[in-house]
């Protein structure tokens, strides 16, 4: 009798509208209709010929929600359209038919991990300051950095009259010949040019900057300019607010 049918919350989740738990909430709060009738019962099963809508919009009428991780190269702007006709990050996703947007920004000359999606709800969640999503960077700076020099970054420094949140920071290595250092720094704020300004504040101007990780998403397997769709469990973790970085086995 139920052959070919699936639970309603699973169908909604697979459509990318919400996590399974979020889909259950959509149902119990009366926002879901099946064949033009409101359904509030969890466990309701629907088949291929049933018409499901959320907030009055048919699932089949919605653009499929997609999620991509891009290794942004230098010389590309983080926007959908550029008045100067420079290449944008969206231009790089040449085979993506959906209209995606970058989550947050990376400077023109900054490289690394950038999330793009057409899921506005998730994008707004990730960018909200209260979510405290960690962004980890590797910076090449001028000068031979010392522990004393970077210590203020761990307490926060004042930029444009506002103190930054404490950062995780460490010296990776020095190049005595070139008088440069490599610094790793992790922040959860999203002010413009923040990492560059923080390091400049302690006398370590940035030469090159790469975002190595966004939340738990890293650049493993991605060359500059390459991108990949997020895995189902990665999307699930982001929607559930599980931003912790997991060590690779």
Q: What pLDDT digit, counting tens, does each position of 4-33 carry?
A: 678 898 888 777 677 778 889 999 999 999
Mean pLDDT for the chain overall: 90
What's residue 4's pLDDT? 63
Q: How many helices (H) and strands (E) does the chain have?
A: 7, 17
Tokens for 196, please give them. 């560059």
- Confidence class of residue 213 from pLDDT cuts 50, 70 and 90? very high
- What percent of the chain shows pLDDT beyond 70? 94
- For residue 9, count other CB atoms closer than 10 A to its CB: 23
Q: How many CB atoms lie within 10 A of CB 211?
A: 22
Structure confidence by residue, pLDDT tens digits, 147-180: 999 999 999 999 999 999 999 999 999 999 999 9
Global pTM value? 0.76
Cα gap 237→1, rounded to integer Å: 34
Are the beta carbons of 63 and 26 closer than 8 angstroms?
no
Question: Which residues are known to be catalytic?
Answer: 107
């Amino acid at each position: 009798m139920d052959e070919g049918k699936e639970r309603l919350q699973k169908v909604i989740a697979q459509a990318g509208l919400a996590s399974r738990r979020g889909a259950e909430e959509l149902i119990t709060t009366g926002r879901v209709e099946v064949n033009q009738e409101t359904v509030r019962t969890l466990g309701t099963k629907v088949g291929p010929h049933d018409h499901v809508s959320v907030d009055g919009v048919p699932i089949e009428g919605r653009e499929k929600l997609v999620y991509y991780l891009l290794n942004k190269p230098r010389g590309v702007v983080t926007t959908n359209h550029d008045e100067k006709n420079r290449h944008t990050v969206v231009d790089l996703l040449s085979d993506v038919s959906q209209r995606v947007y970058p989550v947050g920004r990376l400077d023109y000359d900054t490289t690394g991990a950038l999330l793009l999606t057409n899921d506005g709800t998730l994008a707004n969640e990730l960018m909200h300051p209260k979510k405290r999503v960690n962004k980890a960077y590797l910076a090449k700076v001028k000068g031979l950095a010392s522990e004393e020099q970077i210590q203020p970054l761990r307490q926060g420094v004042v930029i444009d009259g506002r103190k930054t949140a404490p950062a995780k920071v460490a010296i990776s290595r020095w190049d005595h010949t070139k008088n440069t250092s490599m610094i790793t720094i992790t922040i959860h704020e999203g002010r413009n040019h923040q990492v560059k300004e923080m390091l400049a504040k302690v006398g370590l101007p940035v030469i090159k900057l790469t975002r190595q990780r966004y939340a738990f998403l890293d650049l493993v397997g991605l060359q500059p300019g390459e991108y990949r769709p997020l895995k189902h469990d990665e999307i699930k973790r982001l929607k559930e607010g599980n931003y912790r970085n997991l060590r690779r086995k």
